[in-house]
């Protein structure tokens, strides 16, 4: 089971995020009550992506879309690590945790990066899947299905 996740992660990095090839990114299933995907930063070069166990039998593109979003977060965070110092990173974490609008902005620019890197179609398939099963995504959670469809058509 873990093999397919690993394979999807490698495909996302290869197709859209080659700058992350040298990071250690582990991926595995976990029971997550309120998310399908998530990531944890362990160190400057080490990250863990969690995938909710309810996704074990979904289509490959849904994995690719969800993983792309997490990998895009890691890419943004990693580029900040390279250019900013330790204190900026703390500031980033404080901003993310305490300011709702910053979180919204961060989620939306993360989705935009996925589109820029050529994985928008996969992200769209993931969002459609997620919309059906949980509360609909709004502009506060990232790009919506409608926005993403408009972007991909361009
Ligand atoms: Zn996110």
- Dist. CA 104 → ligand 1 center (Å): 9
HSE-up of residue 136 (Cα within 13 Å, Cβ side): 5
pTM: 0.86
Rounded to the nearest integer, the mean pLDDT of the chain is: 88
- Dist. CA 127 → ligand 1 center (Å): 12
Q: Is the pLDDT assigned to residue 124 strictly greater than 60?
A: yes
Task: Report, in this order, helix, strand and coil percent for the chain, each rounded to 5.
Answer: 65, 15, 25
Tell me what pLDDT residue 103 has. 80
pLDDT digits (tens, 9 = 90+) for 133-149: 777 777 778 899 999 99
**Which residue in this structure is represented by tokens 């992506």?**
49
- Dist. CA 133 → ligand 1 center (Å): 18
- Dist. CA 153 → ligand 1 center (Å): 23
- Dist. CA 51 → ligand 1 center (Å): 13
Using an 8 Å Cβ cutoff, are 58 and 129 in contact? yes
- Give the mean pLDDT of 50-72: 95
């Amino acid at each position: 089971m873990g093999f397919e996740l690993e394979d999807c992660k490698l495909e996302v990095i290869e197709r859209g995020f080659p700058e992350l090839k040298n990071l250690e990114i582990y991926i595995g299933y976990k029971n997550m009550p309120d998310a399908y995907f998530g990531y944890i930063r362990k160190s400057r070069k080490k990250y863990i992506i969690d995938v909710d166990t309810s996704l074990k039998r979904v289509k490959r593109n849904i994995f690719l879309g969800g993983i792309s979003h997490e990998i895009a977060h890691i890419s943004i965070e990693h580029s900040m690590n390279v250019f900013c110092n330790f204190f900026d990173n703390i500031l980033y974490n404080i901003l993310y945790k305490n300011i709702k609008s910053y979180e919204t902005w961060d989620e939306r620019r993360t989705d935009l990066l996925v589109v820029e890197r050529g994985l928008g179609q996969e992200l769209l398939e993931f969002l459609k899947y997620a919309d059906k099963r949980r509360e609909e995504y709004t502009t506060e959670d990232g790009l919506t299905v409608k926005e993403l469809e408009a972007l991909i058509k361009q």
